[in-house]
Amino acid sequence: VVDDERFFLTILGDFVAQEFAMRPILVEDATTALGFLDTEQIDLVLLDILMPGMDGLETLRQIKDRHPSLPVIMVTATSTIDHVIAALREGADDFVRKPVDLDELRLCVHRALNKNRVAKLPPPPPRNAASERRRGPRARLRVRTPAALQLLDADLIDLSLSGALVEHIEPIRPGEIYRLALTLDGQDVQVLARAMRVFASHRVTVAGGERQVVYRTGLEFVGLEKEAAGLIGGFVESLLQEGSSASPGDA
């Protein structure tokens, strides 16, 4: 935990120790924190953005240069989103705002640690066509809901607490941060999301005689606030219940 305010060091250190059974290392400056990367086995970094001397953004760059896969969650007291977006573009995995909501922090830490564990897993064996046939079709949550991606119109195809799959015409860049606006159960939800994978769908539309490729992009939510998580979770749960109650013959 890297923060120049001892109060937050204590709060965050106690939290990760109690919730995740981790041994917290509490550091008040970036130089000391970078030194621990060479002497300790670090599994996660909670890093303040605004610090005297070397700030959180420069510290983040140096951490990612040395350990690209090390999860880093930024902690910010600033009310503007510019610092946060800059940190996410530099490779931060997520962020939380001060005063820290511990429920949101718990969600961020779980997401960052799980993503890191998945990244370390060996690649799956090649698919076997016969075993794929035995497995049968997989149930998949599919919902088409209008969404605003920055200033672009997009269709929401899949949604979970981890992220979303959207369909759109104008291409977007993997790794870039976008604002995704949704309307769920009559309530507006705005979240930040990182574009993870972009690929062209098989469908090609013709508009005004011009061929257009329809893209699908997987988005990973970052900085998901508790209220937004509650709305998304409730919406997904309602869709799953509707799907389970429908009979196989239903349209």
Q: Reply yes or no: is the peptide bond before residue 171 cis, omega within 30 of 0.
A: no
| Any domain includes 125 | no
The pLDDT value given to residue 142:
59
Residue 201 to residue 194: CA distance in whole angstroms: 20
Residue 174, domain member (yes or no): yes
Same domain, 104 and 176: no
Looking at the structure, do residues 16 and 115 belong to the same domain, yes or no?
yes
Query: What's the predicted TM-score (pTM) here?
Result: 0.74
Q: How many domains is the chain built from?
A: 2
pLDDT of residue 78: 74
Does 154 share its domain with 236?
yes
99 and 146 housed in the same domain = no
Confidence of residue 185 (pLDDT cuts 50, 70, 90): confident
User: Which of the two residues, 188 and 14, has the higher pLDDT score?
Assistant: 14
Do residues 78 and 161 both lie within one domain?
no
What digits encode the pLDDT tens for the residues 60-105?
999 999 999 999 999 988 767 788 888 998 999 999 999 899 999 9
CATH number at residue 73: 3.40.50.2300
CATH classification of the domain holding 155? 2.40.10.220
Token readout for 71 is: 């999860």
**Residues 156, 207 share a domain:** yes
- Smallest CA-to-CA distance from 193 within 218, 157, 213, 222 is with 222
pLDDT in tens, 23-41: 999 999 999 999 999 899 9
Residue 126 located in a structural domain: no
Tell me, yes or no, whether 131 lies in a domain: no
Give CA–CA dist 119/110, Å, rounded: 14
Angle between helices 102-120 and 6-20 (to 10 degrees): 60
| Domain closes at, from 120, 155, 179 | 120
Say if residue 100 is in the same domain as residue 158. no
DSSP line for 47-75? EESS-SSS-HHHHHHHHHHH-TTS-EEEE
Is 80 a member of any domain?
yes
* Same domain assignment for residues 102 and 171: no
Clarify whether residues 94 and 176 are in a common domain.
no
- pLDDT tens track for 139-179: 455 566 777 877 677 888 888 888 998 888 888 888 888 88
Question: 75, exposed or middle or buried, with CB in 10 Å at 0-12, 13-18, 19+?
Answer: buried
The parent domain of residue 232 ranges over: 141-245
- The answer to whether position 128 is within a domain reads no
Does residue 228 fall inside a structural domain?
yes
The answer to whether 72 and 93 are in contact (CB under 8 A) is: yes
- Whether 135 is in a domain gets the answer no
